[in-house]
Structure 1
Amino acid sequence: MTSADLPITPPGLWRQTSIIVRRSLIHTRRMPEMLTDVTVQPVIFVLLFSFVFGAAVSVPDGGNYREFLLPGIMGQTIVFTAFVVAMGITADVDKGIVDRFRSLPISRFSYLLGRAIAALLHSAIGLTVMAVTGLVIGWRIHGGILDAILGFVLIVVFGFGMIWYGVLIGSWLRSVEAVNGFLFSTLFPLTFLSNVFVPTAPMADWLRFIAEWNPISSLVQAMRELWGNGPAAAPGAALPLQHPVIATVLWSLALTVVFAPVALRAFVRRTAD
């Protein structure tokens, strides 16, 4: 039997996924301007809100607004991971890259998983930049090592749930411009209608109810409590803010369970023959 007669064994799921992740990282290295959204933009947000709005925002129990702000900005950044994966998928489909992958022994799921991991790595750069910026302007983590690690784990878990929303939008809409406009119109109001930048207690009752049941508020409250950057939720706060760590895990699971099956079907329809 010659080498030409030997059966060709397709690579496993992890090998396929790692190829997609490596491709995305190489693409980013060759076009470093793609990192603007997780390098320049987060620094602008941190400095703008810290020094322009910080003096006007009252933090509960007289806390430091800069420490109150950093978990919120990090939560906003991980939510915007949906932008990264959605626009990446749309661009690949539009340019025929996905069609090329389909001619190879690579499954659609491994492509999406690779895109998801690459998007999380992309956002991790932004979180690192923000952490360094925060340390420069006075932000600190006051909790223990395990609490600090748990806070970052929650960010990744929540980001993985948001990625499936991005996959759905990227598979549903037909152009990068449409994806950017739609996500901007949905995610920006969602992040501002939360406790990311301001406490929820002074809000009107109906607005406070919406903000405190916002999944982003649970994530941000969990990080603030774990890192010692803010007080526990007030007694009158909604249930998710009373138990923010558990609520964040449940919200993340819910986002994955709701959006992942729909996103997978949408992607299969978009890339069908």
Structure 2
Amino acid sequence: MTSSLGWALADGWTVARRTLIHWRMQPGIVIFGWFFPVLMMLMFGALLGGAMEMPDGQSYYELLVPGIFTLAMLFGLEGTMTAVATDVSKGVTDRFRSLPMSSAAVVLGRCIADMLDSVVTLIVLIAAGLALGWRWHGTLPEALAAFGLLLLLRFALLWVGIFIGLSVKNVQSITVVQVLVWPVGFLSSAFVMTSTMPSWLGAIAQWNPMSSTATAARSLFDNPGAVAGSWIGGHAGAAAVIWPLLIVAVFLPLSARRFRNLSR
């Protein structure tokens, strides 16, 4: 059992290194992925900041930055879908499966590479947020717990991306799914508190997994926007754990099954 696990991890790291080498050869694409959420932070902060009424005269960035952290985890889904679909369409995945390597290595390597990319994305966003005046007011362990919840969401969405990437017929089909990612992200508490929305829309937004993670992160950072007048808003911390676990429970087995049945 131990040797099988070690074999899978070693093979997974080999596949992950392949992705890292591709990133080194195409740094512009990777760097754009890191700084695109920063652009969103600057754009929405400038567009909405002056119109937002914040408690005690706090900066709008105190509300916005944790929301952008959450959206960055969602937008990473697009890169996962595209990379997986590209490897499938070019036959790379089938060639890997024909090699004497762990059957889990291809997916594991994708997970390792994308999670590393998400960590760098968060580091870039933290630096940008601090430069714009955002601060966390809780303890360091609470801040680390918030970043842990963000990465847990990214890990869960990773399996959604892997499943979609394995399921689409070609890379062009990813465009349709990418369009749907944006409404999911915007119909949340990422940019505004749900209490400012019409009641029916606010209720939908609060049950969005993005809202649970954003609200829980704000609570741990002690930023405004952490309190919501509903059951799901009042239990955002638990929901920020339960939602990703449910997503993994659904999409990990689906991804494994789809991977086994690939090319059949």
| Cα shift readout 1:185-218 (whole Å, capped 9, x = no counterpart) | 2211011000001110021111111000111100
How many Å apart are 1:59 and its aligned residue?
3.3
| Cα shift readout 1:150-201 (whole Å, capped 9, x = no counterpart) | 011111111111111101110111222211x233222110110000011100
2:246 matched to 1:251?
A: no
- Judged with a 3 Å threshold, the aligned counterparts in structure 2 of structure 1 residues 102 and 93 are, in CA distance, closer, same or farther, namely same
Separation in 2, partners of 1:207, 1:197: 14
- AA partner of residue 241 (structure 1): G
List, as ranges, runs of 4+ consecutive aligned residues in structure 1 with deviation greater than 6 Å: none
Count of paired positions: 261
How many Å apart are 1:19 and its aligned residue?
0.7
- Judged with a 3 Å threshold, the aligned counterparts in structure 2 of structure 1 residues 96 and 232 are, in CA distance, closer, same or farther, namely closer
Does the aligned pair in 2 maintain the 1:172–1:266 contact within 8 Å?
Answer: yes
Moved more, 18-27 or 261-270: 261-270
- AA partner of residue 217 (structure 2): M
- AA partner of residue 32 (structure 1): P
Separation in 1, partners of 2:30, 2:164: 21
Query: Which residue of 73, 82, 90 maps to 1:78?
Result: 73
Separation in 2, partners of 1:79, 1:119: 12
Moved more, 52-61 or 62-71: 52-61
Query: Which residue of 78, 94, 115 maps to 2:89?
Result: 94
> Helix, strand or coil for the counterpart of 2:30?
helix
Separation in 1, partners of 2:16, 2:226: 38
Separation in 2, partners of 1:259, 1:63: 40
Separation in 1, partners of 2:147, 2:83: 24
> What residue is the counterpart of 2:208 in the other structure?
214
> Helix, strand or coil for the counterpart of 2:53?
coil
- Judged with a 3 Å threshold, the aligned counterparts in structure 2 of structure 1 residues 65 and 53 are, in CA distance, closer, same or farther, namely same
| Cα shift readout 1:235-269 (whole Å, capped 9, x = no counterpart) | x22x2221211111100100000111112222222
> Helix, strand or coil for the counterpart of 1:55?
coil
Separation in 2, partners of 1:271, 1:34: 30
Query: Which residue of 196, 220, 230 maps to 1:202?
Result: 196
> What residue is the counterpart of 2:262 in the other structure?
270
Does the aligned pair in 1 maintain the 2:188–2:194 contact within 8 Å?
Answer: yes
Using structure 2 for the length normalisation, give the TM-score. 0.93
Moved more, 60-69 or 109-118: 60-69
Separation in 1, partners of 2:32, 2:140: 29
Q: How many percent of aligned residue pairs carry the same amino acid? A: 36
Separation in 2, partners of 1:94, 1:231: 43
| Cα shift readout 1:52-103 (whole Å, capped 9, x = no counterpart) | 2111123356532111101100100111222122111111111221122122
2:19 matched to 1:24?
A: yes
Does the aligned pair in 1 maintain the 2:216–2:226 contact within 8 Å?
Answer: no
Using structure 1 for the length normalisation, give the TM-score. 0.90
Separation in 1, partners of 2:263, 2:185: 31
> What residue is the counterpart of 1:38 in the other structure?
33
- Judged with a 3 Å threshold, the aligned counterparts in structure 2 of structure 1 residues 143 and 210 are, in CA distance, closer, same or farther, namely same
In structure 1, runs of 5+ residues without a counterpart are: 1-8
Q: CA RMSD in A?
A: 1.8
- AA partner of residue 202 (structure 2): R
Q: Which structure has the larger Rg?
A: 1
- AA partner of residue 195 (structure 1): S
